[in-house]
Amino acid sequence: MYVANTGLRIGCALATEVAWIDWNKKQVRYPASAMKSGYPLTVDLNEEAFRALRIATAISPERPFPFSYSHARKYWLKARKAAGQLSVRIHDLRHSYISNQLTAGTPIHVVRDIAGHRSLTMTQRYSHTTDEARKTAVGLVNISVPMEEGKAPVPRRGTNRGTKTKTKTANASESLVPRGGIEPPTRGFSVLCSTD
């Protein structure tokens, strides 16, 4: 339950020490030496992870998970056989946690931090778009152009003053672009947008 509710790798979870736990803040601060990435990670605990850690420390006050990976794997194999899920690995608990965070709408940069990934590219591997998610996303933003029922909008027509003027205008707009390459905001263009 601890791995399933924190998204930690099993090796990191098994390395948990009581000294790293902040019971008041419901956090565990893993040092760089315990992490595969080589960077420290603060793990915020949800209610199930907190409960699992409380139970583990009640049984083993010195070290919450006082067993090896092979010991944990042995019991994992028994549990998955009893559940009829022979292909599920312990590491799939991490994958599931991260994927469910993304599906729940947690911003990807926050999930990256939760998972202890060094890049968003790694976190994106866990992102699985569903039909339902796409339909929900499409419904969030509606852009409309005011127009009368049954009439098509009439495009504004500019005057053709010749190629020389067009070139001047193009060069003038290029000079508005700052050295960093970011374009200035478009003036005089507005679209009604609602985010329901």
C-beta separation of 52 from 98 below 8 A: no
Following CA atoms 111, 114, 115, 120 in sequence, which dihedral angle do they give, to the nearest 10 degrees? 40
Residue 114 identity (one-letter amino acid): I
Segment 77-120, tens digit of pLDDT: 999 999 999 999 999 999 999 988 888 888 988 988 988 888 88
pLDDT band at 28 (very low <50, low <70, confident <90, very high): very high
pLDDT: which is higher, 66 or 184: 66
**Domain boundaries along the sequence of the chain:** 10-135
> Does the domain made of 10-135 have the CATH classification 1.10.443.10?
yes
CB under 8 Å to 196, separation ≥6 — which residues?
Answer: 139, 140, 142
